Amino acid sequence: MNHSTVPCPHCGEEIREDAKFCRHCGSSDADGWRDEYDTDLDEFDYDDYVAQEFSTTAANTQTRPIWRLVAVVLLIVFTFGYLFFLL
């Protein structure tokens, strides 16, 4: 299968003629083959991102307490079951 290629209207990399988007720059027919690269990347604050996305506390706040209790009870049951099996 030999597909003809054309340059991407945005970045100039070679893409298939029937491509819906460019694998190199991400521009697509749906967004109008962007005229410019995203300039918002220069304004990205990495430290702020890390502070928002990653908690500094050790506790997992997303797991419901009942599931933590179930996990601890199962761990105890399996531990005692294993020890009982060894004896």
User: pLDDT tens-digit profile of 22-64?
Assistant: 888 878 877 666 555 555 555 777 788 787 777 666 665 666 7
What's the distance, CA 37 to chain centroid?
22
Query: Quick one: 21 exposed, middle or buried, by C-beta within 10 A (0-12, 13-18, 19+)?
Result: middle
Sign of CA dihedral 41, 43, 46, 52: negative
pTM above threshold 0.75: no
Q: Say how far apart CA 17 and CA 8 lie, in whole Å.
A: 9
Q: Say how far apart CA 22 and CA 29 lie, in whole Å.
A: 9
Sign of CA dihedral 44, 46, 50, 51: negative
